């Protein structure tokens, strides 16, 4: 009899452990580091997130590695920014022979347009990042319905953090004297940020980093800095710092530090998460632009 009871206890323990083990995390690929952080915040323990374009790397000019095809082949979902950011992705998905669903995180965002091209940097407005989070939560729930309540709860708590962050950025931007709310960045990555928070950005490069600045682009920026007394120029973690260094040397505009536009940093950097990135950027801007 005691032996039978022992077996019963063992069976109950096995029954309790096995379902937990059987719950494999959902494999999700995010195209670049900023998106990867948003997906991790919503997906939590139920999701295994890998990113293709890692920290301090440029998503515009990315060349996929063989390991990326393997990541995509193993994924249930591939979450991308869209708006033309990942021009290299369709070929990669095709060559990987992947059956993963492709989810566009910017669905529902009205893109900022530059001629015919959409500006892909929608995440630079914190309100837009909230739309990304909603899309991510819905796509994870569709792929893993048993986790729907969990994803919704994670999304709600992260959205509350984004709301607080958005207020923080607005309040900080409002402290900058209006005549000084203008800076130079390397490429045109802050259009959504500018529209949301009222700081003007002028860049020698367009919305992509694919082409180099011409002598004429640089001359135009130098003229504009002098004519409009633009107080500061900023480096980026994904771009060659020499261009901004040269513009600063010719105009006397100070280098206000680094802005993180398209990529997070590693754990020990200034911007290991999306929230850290936005907070770092607004601090760098307010300290460079204060009187």
What stretch of H or E contains 202?
strand 200-202
Judged by CB under 5 A, does residue 221 bind Zn ion? no
CB 254 within 8 A of CB 231: yes
Report d(CA 43, CA 158) in Å as an integer.
11
For Zn ion, the closer of residues 47 and 122 by Cβ is 122
Nearest distance from C-beta of residue 153 to Zn ion, angstroms = 32
Least distance to Zn ion, CB of residue 194, Å: 14
Q: Rank residues 36 and 231 by Cβ distance to Zn ion and give the closer one.
A: 36
Give me the least distance between CB of 236 and Zn ion, in Å please: 8
Closest CA to 41 of 164, 125, 148, 154: 154
Residues in the chain: 291
State which of positions 170-189 bind Zn ion (CB under 5 A).
189
Q: Scanning residues 48 to 107, which ones bind Zn ion (CB under 5 A)?
A: none
Nearer to Zn ion, 155 or 284 (CB): 284
Rg of the chain's alpha carbons, rounded to an integer?
Answer: 23
Please give the size of the binding site for Zn ion, defined by CB under 5 A: 2
Q: What is the closest distance, in whole angstroms, from the C-beta atom of residue 222 to Zn ion in the complex?
A: 22
Kindly report the number of other CB atoms within 10 A of residue 150's CB atom.
Answer: 19
Nearer to Zn ion (CB atom), residue 42 or residue 264: 264
Beta carbon of residue 164, minimum distance to Zn ion (angstroms, whole number): 26
Binding to Zn ion (CB under 5 A): which residues in 251-270?
262
**Shorter beta-carbon distance to Zn ion: residue 176 or 207:** 207
- Between residue 187 and residue 216, which ones bind Zn ion under the rule CB under 5 A? 189
Q: Give least dist CB 262 to Zn ion, A.
A: 4
Smallest gap from Cβ 85 to Zn ion, in A, equals 8
What residues have CB less than 8 Å from 75, skipping those under 6 apart?
27, 28, 29, 50, 98, 100
Given the complex with Zn ion, which of 44 and 269 has the nearer CB atom?
269
CB nearer to Zn ion: give 173 or 207: 207
DSSP-assigned letters across all residues of 85-96: S-TTHHHHHHHH
Structure tokens at 238: 């994904």
Cβ proximity of 177 and 161 under 8 Å: no
How many C-beta neighbours within 10 Å does residue 116 have? 5
| Class of residue 19 by CB neighbours under 10 A (exposed 0-12, middle 13-18, buried 19+) | exposed
| Dist. CA 234–CA 259, nearest whole Å | 6
Chain residues that interact with Zn ion, rule: CB under 5 A: 189, 262
């Amino acid at each position: 009899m005691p032996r039978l009871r022992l077996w019963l206890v063992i069976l109950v323990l096995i029954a309790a452990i096995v379902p937990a083990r059987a719950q494999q995390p959902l494999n999700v690929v995010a195209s670049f580091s900023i998106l990867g952080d948003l997906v991790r915040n919503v997906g939590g323990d139920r999701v295994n997130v890998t990113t293709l374009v890692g920290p301090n790397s440029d998503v515009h000019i990315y060349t996929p590695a063989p390991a990326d095809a393997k990541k995509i082949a193993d994924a249930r979902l591939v979450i991308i920014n869209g708006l033309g950011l990942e021009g290299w992705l369709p070929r990669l998905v095709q060559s990987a022979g992947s059956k993963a669903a492709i989810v566009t995180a910017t669905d529902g965002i009205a893109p900022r347009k530059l001629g015919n091209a959409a500006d892909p940097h929608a995440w630079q407005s914190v309100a837009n990042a909230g739309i990304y989070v909603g899309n991510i939560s819905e796509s994870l729930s569709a792929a893993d319905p048993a986790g729907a309540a969990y994803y919704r709860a994670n999304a709600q708590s992260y959205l509350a953090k984004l709301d607080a962050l958005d207020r923080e950025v607005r309040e900080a931007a409002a402290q900058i004297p209006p005549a000084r709310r203008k800076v130079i960045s390397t490429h045109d990555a802050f259009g959504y940020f500018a529209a949301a928070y009222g700081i003007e950005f002028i860049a020698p490069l367009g919305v992509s980093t694919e082409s180099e600045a011409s002598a004429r682009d640089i001359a135009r920026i130098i003229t504009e800095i002098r004519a409009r007394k633009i107080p500061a120029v900023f480096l980026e973690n994904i771009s060659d710092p020499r261009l901004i260094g040269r513009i600063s040397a010719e105009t006397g505009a100070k280098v206000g530090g680094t802005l993180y536009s398209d990529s997070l940093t590693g754990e020990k950097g200034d911007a290991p998460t999306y929230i850290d990135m936005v907070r770092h950027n607004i601090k760098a801007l307010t300290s460079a632009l204060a009187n």
